[in-house]
A and B are shown apart, each in its own frame.
Chain A
Amino acid sequence: MASNLKYLAIMDFTTIIGLEIHVQLQTKTKLFCGCPTTFNPDQPNIQTCPVCLGLPGALPVMNRDAFALSLKTAMALNLELANFTKWDRKQYYYPDLPKGYQISQYDLPFSSKGWLEIDVPSTGETRRIRIIRAHLEEDAGKNLHDESGRGSDSQVDLNRAGTPLLEIVSEPDLRTAEEAKTYMEEMRLLLLAIGVSDCNMQEGSMRCDANVNLHVHENGETIPTPIVEVKNLNSFRFLEAAIEFEVKRQCAEWQRTHIRMGAPGGYKTTRGFDPNRGVTFEQRGKEEAADYRYFPDPDLVPVTVTDEQLVAIRSTLVEFPAARRRRYQQQLGLSAYDARVIADQGAEFANYFDAVTSLCGDGKQAANWLTQDVLREMNERRLSISEFPISSALLGALLVRVTKSELTIKAAREVFATLLKEWEEQEVAPSAERIEAIIKERGLATVNDTGAIESVVMAVIGRNEKAVADLRAGKMQAIGAIVGQVMKELKGADAKVVRQMILDKVGIS
């Protein structure tokens, strides 16, 4: 790799990346049959029927919800929706594809021409990534390969075969591995926010193919190198690593061959990514350009979409993560960092934040609590926000006392911690009544009554003759013990006020 790095330094080039993201839609049943879509690798071939097994004579019928979720996604991605769409067969042979073709969409996808904005962390730049199209298709099953190298049979599990899959194809607008990763992360947040997919990457619900090549700038000319499609990347880390590897590899390849895209030997190739070694490897030969022989599936009929349907679906859309981040920064004055932390936790967390903010009237205060206290306690206990025992209403009720200066932040933290402790150890459900009781029991309420403070100060001075004498003798550190004793009795008092009053009473102001 050292020699590759050398090319990186001396070559002038731009990296060109386009992503094809595949997302499983969150339907109960498969795209064309009533089999469940549950992830179930331990019980292979139990979610199959004549349709998804591709048995002779079985016929597909489109899942209504899958199509509706597709439309919803397309709207969120600013895609234009077609009034007429149809399904095509993409023909190739593979053991996880029981019919010998995948039902997909070819020349008339249901949506095209959209975009998704991303905020690139390292540059702080906002980039609009264009989306060519999104189309609906069926997933294949799963082949399990014998890894022993002994050449045993591969196993085929068709539980996943026929699961509804949305393919979202970006323009080659991405320029770095970081941008590609950010784009995929943003896509995931958005899809989670609108509830169309669980985007579980370990289970393969979201994965992508990255098309990568270089535009080499040489002698005033820009020369595209052959495109490489890296297939089936199912984590952000792999995506980033695969692109970084490809850039280095393609640089070296260019230096070695100077083959440009379209020239003899300059065909698009397909590669896999080996996460263990962090390298890509060739999957399909260069010369074997696939001929998928797409044609309209005669077993399925077209779909037409009316404007009324579009309006109805649009009304179900929620606020997207990017819009939330913008709102948090512009309207609530949050830092870009805090806005991202909150919005990126998902819609439920962000909704919780919105509720606390509206109750306590202080977005920054709420953000501090959410990004520090709430997230910390959730993570420690492995709870999701919906499982968190202190509801947004309770936290709002606690924080409103802070914003009204009825409670110090420190005191509020003690209430918060006590609520959690009681919930955990004594199974006491946090409630508004408990908040009041804890404040009372522990004397946490802010004490603004100078008379009350004065009497406690006088009493403490009275029983600490030695400390008072030291103080009068100029040993200022002696005041700590006196303040401490006052504060112990008057938790809600302001320590600065107490300190000043002691100095006044002792007569050294």
Chain B
Amino acid sequence: MSLVTSTTSELLGQLASRSVSAVEVTQSYLDAIQRRDGQVGALLSVTADSALAQAAEVDRRRAAGEAVGALAGLPIVLKDNICTQGIKTTCASKMLKDFVPPYDAHVATRLKQADAILLGKANLDEFAMGSSSENSALGKTVNPWSFEHAAGGSSGGSAAAVSAGFAPLALGSDTGGSIRQPASFCGVVGLKPTYGRVSRFGLVAYASSLDQIGPFARDVSGAALLLDAISGHDRRDSTSVDAPPTLTAATVEQPLSGLRVGIAREHFVAGLDPEVEAAVRRAVEVYKSLGATIVDISLPHSKYAIAVYYLIACSEASSNLARYDGVHYGHRATEFSNLVEMYKASRSEGFGDEVKRRIMLGAYALSAGYYDAYYLKALKVRRLIRQDFDAAFQNVDVIASPVNPTPAFKLGEMTADPLKMYLADIYTISANLAGLPGISIPAGMSASGLPIGLQLLAAPFEEEKLLRAARMFEREHGPAPMSWKSGV
């Protein structure tokens, strides 16, 4: 078996027994990137030299019998909205195309402590705004399963990188489904942790009350391992919950007895692709066969989630992105007549249309006379959405649903009509509004050969339960297939 088709635990085993070196592992992934990323476009930057140096250091320490971190020698790519000291962090925006952070994000520090090998930075929709990775000003990511199809977004580069064998692990960020949806499109595992579980320090903010960093891996246990490495309290993020890091990797292989799987009637309605619905129904049958109880539930306010999401996310975004004005960092226009014109020219040149749309929508929702009707109203309905989940989790352990109404759509198919694109977020968005953990795991393939994902949601801070439930299905269904079997 080739190194780049291995799962995280297989690689860790080989590295620990020193049957393979970290340098060899790193080099194989760098080779895969070299050979294929020209077609996929998953990465915006590759840090080959520092990766090999870091790998050599891990090998040296292993050989010397020194302690190494939990991810020692495992390559990883980070979504390019996660700050890395001395390494460009662009958010796939012209605005930040040359931005080199003078500091590391909390997760980047944790990964260094765990001795993971940073291979590079992954493409995304500009400032994580979008669901296809087509809104990138710096590159185009396609679906490794079909180059005419989208990798999903906004963490499309991270999902595609794992799917294509460019890295066994990746980090993305999920504000409305931006980890889970590309994971489902690319046929890998993607986890959005509970809000507050992973520090946002150093994650370039899109919508602060919704953003959460999370792992991509080829299998559930890989996601668990990476979650454990990055989770836990951080004093530099006031919204980080004061809880110890998760220990999900240790329990992920233990099946849950008496598992109750909730199915929401609101999730199976018009607009859901029959192949996707069939895959989810099959998954439910799998759980039934494993002894789980299937419970019908209702999430009556879920139909308002998209409206609530876009009002809150855009309001926060309009504020979070005010700092990009060409004064302290980022793009500055060259043609302007005065300071105010400099702001406008820099921002108009630096931001793409989707970012502008959201800034304007957010400014509108917060502006005098509209605040109560839009932003404040959205905050209130948000509470109702959360209450729906609180009630549901009285009776179920996880809620199973589609991740996206369809498998990966064709490139360009959604770009003309932003609202149509927004509406596709219906299954993923509620978890962000309610702060729940959610996972997307491969659950089948469409007739046209595109992956289909299954989403599981759990109550806040129930990551352990969520991952164990996901692993139960994965064990029956089989691990995620590689998008590229031949020639690897």
Residue numbers of A with Cβ under 8 A of B are 50, 53-62, 89, 91, 93, 95, 98-101, 156, 158, 291, 293-295, 298-301
Contacts and interface: CB of A to CB of B under 8 A. Distances in A.
B202 A58 contact: yes
Contacts of A57: 81-83, 89, 101, 105, 200-205
20 contacts: A50-B102, A56-B83, A56-B89, A56-B99, A56-B329, A57-B89, A57-B105, A57-B204, A58-B201, A58-B202, A60-B238, A61-B238, A93-B325, A95-B339, A99-B322, A100-B321, A100-B323, A100-B324, A295-B319, A299-B208
Given A291-B367, A295-B375, A298-B239, A56 B315 contact: no
Contact of B319 (A50, A55, A56, A100): A100
Contacts of A300: 238
Chain A facing B: main interface SS? loop
B375 A98 contact: no
Contacts of B105: 57
A253 B319 CA distance: 39
B366 interface: yes
B237 A59 contact: yes
B270 interface: no
Interface of B: 81-83, 89, 91, 96, 99, 101-103, 105, 200-205, 207-209, 235-239, 315-316, 318-319, 321-325, 327-329, 339-340, 343, 363, 366-368, 371, 375
In this complex, which of A89, A91, A98, A295 has the most chain B Cβ atoms within 10 angstroms of its Cβ? A295
A95 B321 CA distance: 15
A93 B322 contact: yes
A89 B371 CA distance: 14
Given A56-B101, A59-B200, A293 B367 contact: yes
B83 A298 contact: no
Contacts of B102: 50, 55
B200 A293 contact: no
Contacts of B201: 57-59
A300 B205 CA distance: 14
Contacts of A93: 322, 325, 340, 343
A98 B328 contact: yes
A141 to B, nearest CB: 10
A101 B322 contact: yes
B236 A61 contact: yes
A95 B208 contact: no
A91 B101 contact: no
A59 B238 contact: yes
A101 B323 CA distance: 8
Contacts of B329: 55-56
Given A91-B322, A100-B325, A295-B315, A56 B204 contact: yes
Given A56-B204, A98-B327, 20 more contacts: A54-B323, A55-B329, A56-B91, A56-B96, A57-B81, A57-B200, A59-B236, A59-B238, A61-B237, A93-B322, A93-B325, A93-B340, A95-B327, A100-B319, A158-B328, A293-B368, A293-B371, A298-B239, A299-B208, A301-B238
Chain B facing A: main interface SS? loop
A291 B202 CA distance: 29
B99 to A, nearest CB: 7
A154 to B, nearest CB: 8
Contacts of B371: 293, 295
B196 to A, nearest CB: 10
Contact of B363 (A95, A99, A158, A293): A293
B92 to A, nearest CB: 13
Contacts of A89: 319
A158 B327 CA distance: 12
Contacts of B207: 298
Contacts of B366: 91, 293-295
Given A57-B105, A59-B201, A291-B368, A301 B239 contact: yes
Contacts of A299: 205, 208, 238-239
A59 B201 CA distance: 6
Nearest 8 A/B pairs, CB to CB: A100-B322, A298-B208, A298-B209, A293-B366, A56-B204, A57-B202, A57-B83, A57-B204
A59 B320 CA distance: 11
B188 to A, nearest CB: 25
Nearest to A301: B238
Contacts of A61: 235-238
A3 to B, nearest CB: 35
A62 B237 CA distance: 10
A55 B101 contact: yes
A101 B205 CA distance: 14
B203 A101 contact: no
Contacts of A62: 238
Nearest to B91: A56
In this complex, which of A54, A158, A301 has the most chain B Cβ atoms within 10 angstroms of its Cβ? A54
A101 B102 CA distance: 22
B328 A54 contact: yes
In this complex, which of A93, A293, A294 has the most chain B Cβ atoms within 10 angstroms of its Cβ? A293
Contacts of B103: 50, 55, 58
A23 B89 CA distance: 37
A287 to B, nearest CB: 14
In this complex, which of A98, A100, A158 has the most chain B Cβ atoms within 10 angstroms of its Cβ? A100
A139 B235 CA distance: 23
A508 to B, nearest CB: 93
A156 B208 CA distance: 27
A251 B402 CA distance: 70
A137 to B, nearest CB: 16
A295 B328 CA distance: 24
A325 to B, nearest CB: 43
Nearest to A49: B103
A340 to B, nearest CB: 45
B96 A101 contact: no
B67 to A, nearest CB: 30
A299 B319 CA distance: 12
Contacts of A95: 327, 339
A293 B340 CA distance: 19
A298 B324 CA distance: 18
Contacts of A60: 238
B101 to A, nearest CB: 7
Contacts of B200: 57, 59
A59 B103 CA distance: 12
A57 B200 CA distance: 7
Nearest to A53: B328
Given A57-B83, A91-B319, A156 B239 contact: no
A58 B82 CA distance: 11
Contacts of B235: 61
A61 B238 CA distance: 6
Contacts of A294: 366
A401 to B, nearest CB: 60
A156 B367 CA distance: 29
Nearest to B312: A298
A299 B102 CA distance: 21
In this complex, which of B96, B324, B325, B343 has the most chain A Cβ atoms within 10 angstroms of its Cβ? B325
In this complex, which of A60, A93, A101, A158 has the most chain B Cβ atoms within 10 angstroms of its Cβ? A93
Contacts of B327: 95, 98, 156
Contacts of B319: 89, 91, 100-101, 293, 295
Contacts of A55: 83, 101-103, 328-329
Contacts of B83: 55-57
A334 B231 CA distance: 66
Nearest to B368: A291
Nearest to A295: B366
Contacts of B101: 50, 55-57
Contacts of A58: 103, 201-202
A189 to B, nearest CB: 35
Nearest to B240: A59
A156 B103 CA distance: 22
B325 A298 contact: no
A93 B328 CA distance: 13
Nearest to A300: B238
A295 B320 CA distance: 12
